[in-house]
Amino acid sequence: MSRFYFGDDSRSASSDNDNEDEDDPSSLPFATPLRRSDFLDSEFSPATYLSTLHNRHQTLEDLRSELRSRSQLLSKELLDLVNSNYQDFLNLGNSLHGGEEKVEEVRVGLLGFRKDVDSLVGVVGEREEEVGELLQERRDTREKIELGRRLVDYDARLKELETELMIETAGHETIILGEEVSDSEDDEEEEEEEEGYGVSIVKLRRNVVHYQLVLGLQKDLGEHPFVAAQAARTAKVRSTLLMDLSTALQQAKSAGASGSGRVMKVTKIYADMEESAEAVKVLKTLKSS
């Protein structure tokens, strides 16, 4: 086993013969035992202590062995100390007097602090519930406002359609709301071609578009009491539209070959209104008559 030796500077600067003597452990002086007082220093540091042993003539393995023996000796002394004073350790708690008042003061202080914390937790919990209720109330109010706007829009569009169809609405003012369906160049040409016909294709198409918008709003609103109360009005609008379409289809059929294109346009409006079955019924009636 290789060995490590601590040497001072004078020995490191010696001759080759001296170095050969140092390689022989028997030629080294016997190392003195480690002093016990060195380990009792309050600022004891293992690394610092080992650095002070650079001039110690001793192998590293021997130093480790000596330190290990020192540690075992200290452990044994500590065990002997505990065993010899075991009864005193047990009686130590009974021999302490005069600290009950301090302990009671600390205990009372802790109880008061805990009570304060519990009261603060209760206050925070109440504030949290209040904030939650206010936020929910705010969300409900926003939803009601949005619903009110949609109901107003629905009613206004329905009134607009009733005005276009010249349906009497006693006790109601007509409100025009929403985008107007602008007439395109094709619509203007159709209006020029509709001379001699009592019902305008352009107006029919516009009214059906408005009717589909009303039905879309009605579907979005669902089973709202206000929407349910307008069932008679929407039914009147539908029947009036179907009546106008029926009249337009009869006029187109009575025109013969020149009205065939108009017949196709009217049936297309029926399809847009999702009332193709009504168009078939009218055509069958006209064919049988």
Residue 244 within any structural domain of the chain: yes
Residue 207 within any structural domain of the chain: yes
Residues 175 and 283 in one domain: yes
Residue 41 within any structural domain of the chain: yes
Domain that holds residue 19: 9-92
Question: Pick from 74, 92, 110: which residue ends a domain?
Answer: 92
Residues 155 and 235 in one domain: yes
Closest alpha carbon to 266 in 185, 189, 278: 278
Residues 264 and 161 in one domain: yes
Tokens linked to 275:
């009332």
Domain count, the chain: 2
End-to-end CA distance of the chain: 129
State how far the Cα of 94 lies from the Cα of 286, in Å rounded to an integer.
Answer: 119
Residues 6 or more apart whose Cβ sits within 8 Å of residue 206 = 164, 181
State how far the Cα of 98 lies from the Cα of 242, in Å rounded to an integer.
Answer: 104
Residues 278 and 154 in one domain: yes
State how far the Cα of 31 lies from the Cα of 123, in Å rounded to an integer.
Answer: 75
State how far the Cα of 265 lies from the Cα of 152, in Å rounded to an integer.
Answer: 33
State how far the Cα of 284 lies from the Cα of 278, in Å rounded to an integer.
Answer: 10
Residues 6 or more apart whose Cβ sits within 8 Å of residue 273 = 208, 211, 212, 241, 245
Q: How far is CA 234 from CA 107, 208, 210, 246, in A?
A: 78, 12, 12, 18
CB 199 within 8 A of CB 208: no
Tokens linked to 143:
């939803």
State how far the Cα of 283 lies from the Cα of 289, in Å rounded to an integer.
Answer: 10
Q: Tens of pLDDT along the chain (289 residues)?
A: 434 444 444 334 334 444 444 445 455 566 777 888 877 777 888 888 888 877 777 788 888 888 888 888 888 988 888 888 887 777 776 666 667 788 888 888 899 999 999 889 989 999 999 999 999 999 999 999 998 899 999 899 999 888 888 876 544 443 333 334 444 445 455 554 555 556 788 888 899 999 999 888 888 888 889 888 888 888 898 889 888 888 888 888 777 777 788 888 888 888 888 888 888 888 888 777 6
